[in-house]
Amino acid sequence: MKLETVVEKIPCTVVVKGKGFDEVDLRSIVASDLMSDVLTTVDDRFLIVTSLNSEQVIRTADIVGAPAVLLVNGKQPQNGMVRLAEEFGITLLSTPLSTYKVCYLLGCLLEAT
């Protein structure tokens, strides 16, 4: 599933456009507010869905090789988070929707592609 498709179909704003934004192909979705859990994921190239808006989310994404982070519940990223996303080339999105709603929509999208 293309990251571009996510941005197109899910109501969200692009806070930081990461490296190779147009080409990023997502293999799966990981929804969690515990970065400890994200770090145990075996896959890479996934979208992190979280309501945690700290720098450590971006650091975790970089470590596990996740190209994008989607903040839910209308959470605004902290300044440090934006700076770090720019530095690491990670796409940062924000949506007013809840984790459940977003995951449902992403599931439908993933099925369709």
Partner 1 sequence: MSTIPINTQESPPFLLDLIYRLKVKDVMTKEVITARKETPLRKIQHIMKEKGITGVPITDEEGKRIFGIVSMDDIIRALDGGYIEESAERWMSRNLIVLEDDMPLQFAISYLDKFKYGRFPVLNKDRELVGIITSRDIIIALLVEVNKEVEKLEQQIVQPPSKPGEEAWLLYNIRKYDFENAGKASAGIKKLLIERNIDPKTLRRISIAAYELEMNLVVHSDGGTLSFRLGQDRVEIEARDRGPGIPDVEKALEEGFSTANEWIRSLGFGAGMGLPNAKRVSDEFSIESRMGEGTIVRTVIYLIVPP
The residues of the shown chain that bind partner 1, judged by CB under 8 A, are 33-37, 39-40, 44, 50, 52, 54-57, 59-60, 62-65, 80
| Residue 92 and residue 16 in contact, taking contact as beta carbons nearer than 8 Å | yes
| Residue 103 and residue 49 in contact, taking contact as beta carbons nearer than 8 Å | yes
Least separation in angstroms between residue 75's CB and partner 1 is 13
Closer by beta carbon to partner 1, 35 or else 92: 35
Least separation in angstroms between residue 12's CB and partner 1 is 21
| Residue 37 and residue 20 in contact, taking contact as beta carbons nearer than 8 Å | no
Closer by beta carbon to partner 1, 26 or else 109: 26
Residue 72 and residue 8: Cα distance in Å, rounded? 16
Least separation in angstroms between residue 63's CB and partner 1 is 5
Residue 8 Cα distances to 1, 11, 13, 33, 109, angstroms: 12, 8, 10, 24, 11
Closer by beta carbon to partner 1, 1 or else 64: 64
Least separation in angstroms between residue 88's CB and partner 1 is 8
Helix and strand numbers (H, E) in the chain are: 5, 5
Closer by beta carbon to partner 1, 9 or else 59: 59
